[in-house]
Chain A
C-alpha cells in the first residue's frame, strides 16, 4: 500500500517511503504478536505474572490497529464538511490506545495486589513434551526469552526510526512500548523462577510490576493524546520540546521587508500542522501579492506545513508565539 498524500499534503519521497515501511512493520508486528499470543496461551498456566504479560501482548495490538485504521481516514482530502481534513483520527487512535492501556493496566494491578493480599500461591506443574516430563516453568521462561526478540531488536527500533520522519506520535509511542518490552520479559521470568524456588509472592510482585508498566504507558499516551487534541502548540514527535518549525516560520515571516512583527499559532493535527501566521505590516498596509508570496514561502519550509493562513493584524491576540522558542 502506497500512500501518496495525507489530507491536502502531498508526501515527499522520504515520507512516502517511511510511511510504506511503517505500514509494513505494523502488519509484521500484528502477525508477530498474534503468534506470540497463541504461543504464550499454551504455557500461561497458573502464573499471574504470565497472565499479565499475556494480556499486555494482546493490548499491544491496539496501537498498530489504531494506526492502520487511522491511515484510511487521514488520506482523505479536506472537504467543506471536514475543512481541516481528517488528521485528528490519528490523535483519536492514540487516545483510544492510551485509555485502553490505562484501564487494563489498573485492573491488572488491582488483581495482582488482591492476589498478594489473599496470599494466593501460584501452582505450576509439569507438561509432557516429546515424551519428556518437564516443569512448565522452564517452558514459560524459554517462551518469554524467545518472543522478546521481535519488539526489542526488530520492530521496536525500526518504528522508532520512522516515527520522527513521519512526525507520528502514535508510531513513536508504539515503538517506545515495544522497546520497553524486555522489562516485562525480565519481570515474568523472575516471577516464574521465584515460584519454582518456592518464593510464592514473586509471581504476584512480577505481575504488579508488569501491570504498573502498562498503566504508566497508558497514562503517558492518554496525556499526550489529550493535550494534542486540545491544541497545545505543536511539539516534536516525542512531545519533549516545542517544534522548531515555529521558529523557522517566524524567521521566514520576519525576513520579508513589509513585515513589522510576526507571530504564529501552530497546532499539531496529527502528523501535519495547521498554522495561523499573524503579521503586523509596516505602515499598516499589505498587498495580496505579499501575503500569497509569504504563504508560499512558509509551505516550502516543510511538508508538514501545507495548511497556512496569513492573518494581517494590528495587534497579536493572546497566546501567539512570537519567539518560536520554549
Chain B
C-alpha cells in the first residue's frame, strides 16, 4: 500500500480508505489472506518484481511510470476519492489470470467506465 490522501490512509496497522476496502473485498473473493506492506512506490514495485508482493495499490493512475515493470489494471475513475483520476493497481508482470480476476472484481465493485 502506498499512502494517498482520500484513497489510502496508512495511520493504523490495517489501512483504511476506498482502495484498501476494494483490495480486502477482492482478497475475500479469492479466499486470500492479506499481509499489508507499506512503502514508497519504488520500494513496493521492486518487491512486486522480486515476487515479495502480489498486488500494489495506492494513488497510481493510468499514467503510472511503472508500466514497464508491472502489470497494470485498466483505469477506474469511479473509485471514491479518485477525483476523476483513472486509478490503477499493479500486479507482477505476466500474472495474466490474477490481473484478469482483479479487473473483473473491480468492474463489479466500482463499475467500468
Which residue of A46, A128, A135 is within 8 Å of B100 (Cβ)?
A135
B90 to chain A, nearest CB (A): 10
Query: Which residues of B have CB within 8 Å of A195?
Result: 94, 96
Query: Which residues of A have CB within 8 Å of B94?
Result: 121-123, 195, 200
Contacting pair B103 A133 (CB below 8 A): yes
Contacting pair A123 B112 (CB below 8 A): no
Closest to A124 in B: B96
Within the assembled complex, what's the spacing in Å between the Cα atoms of A128 and B74? 10
B92 to chain A, nearest CB (A): 8
Contacting pair B113 A128 (CB below 8 A): yes
Interface residue? A198 (CB, 8 A)? yes
A111 to chain B, nearest CB (A): 14
Chain A interface, number of residues (Cβ within 8 angstroms): 17
Within the assembled complex, what's the spacing in Å between the Cα atoms of A133 and B95? 17
Interface residue? A12 (CB, 8 A)? no
Within the assembled complex, what's the spacing in Å between the Cα atoms of A120 and B92? 11
Within the assembled complex, what's the spacing in Å between the Cα atoms of A200 and B92? 13
Contacting pair B96 A198 (CB below 8 A): yes
Interface residue? A218 (CB, 8 A)? no
Query: Which residues of B have CB within 8 Å of A133?
Result: 100, 103-104, 107, 112
Query: Which residues of A have CB within 8 Å of B74?
Result: 125-128
A89 to chain B, nearest CB (A): 43
Q: Residues 45-71 of chain B: 1 if any A CB is under 8 Å from the residue's CB, otherwise 0?
A: 000000000000000000000000001
Q: Which of B55-113 contact A (CB under 8 A)?
A: 71-74, 91-97, 99-100, 103-104, 107, 112-113
Q: Residues 102-139 of chain A: 1 if any B CB is under 8 Å from the residue's CB, otherwise 0?
A: 00000000000000000011111111100001010100
Chain B interface, number of residues (Cβ within 8 angstroms): 18
Within the assembled complex, what's the spacing in Å between the Cα atoms of A206 and B72? 23
How many A-B contacts at CB < 8 Å in the complex?
A: 51
* Contact status of A125 and B71, CB under 8 A, knowing A120-B93, A200-B94: yes
Contacting pair A125 B113 (CB below 8 A): no
* Contact status of A126 and B100, CB under 8 A, knowing A133-B107, A133-B112: yes
Query: Which residues of A have CB within 8 Å of B73?
Result: 125
Closest to A136 in B: B100
Which residue of B91, B97, B99, B112 is within 8 Å of A128 (Cβ)?
B112
Closest to B100 in A: A126
Interface residue? A156 (CB, 8 A)? no
Interface residue? A85 (CB, 8 A)? no
Contacting pair A121 B93 (CB below 8 A): yes
Interface residue? A63 (CB, 8 A)? no
Closest to A46 in B: B71
Interface residue? A93 (CB, 8 A)? no
Within the assembled complex, what's the spacing in Å between the Cα atoms of A46 and B70? 11
Interface residue? A191 (CB, 8 A)? no
Q: Which of A39-97 contact B (CB under 8 A)?
A: 46
Query: Which residues of A have CB within 8 Å of B99?
Result: 123-126
A-B contact pairs, 20 of them (CB 8 A): A121-B94, A121-B95, A123-B72, A123-B91, A123-B94, A123-B95, A124-B96, A125-B72, A125-B74, A126-B99, A126-B100, A126-B103, A126-B104, A128-B107, A128-B112, A133-B112, A135-B100, A137-B96, A195-B96, A200-B94
Residue ranges of A at the interface with B (Cβ–Cβ < 8 Å): 46, 120-128, 133, 135, 137, 195-196, 198, 200
Given contacts A123-B96, A133-B107, 16 further A-B contacts (CB under 8 A): A120-B93, A121-B93, A121-B95, A123-B93, A123-B94, A123-B99, A124-B96, A125-B74, A125-B96, A125-B103, A126-B100, A126-B104, A127-B74, A128-B74, A133-B104, A137-B96
Which 4 interchain pairs have the tightest Cβ spacing?
A121-B94, A123-B71, A128-B112, A121-B93
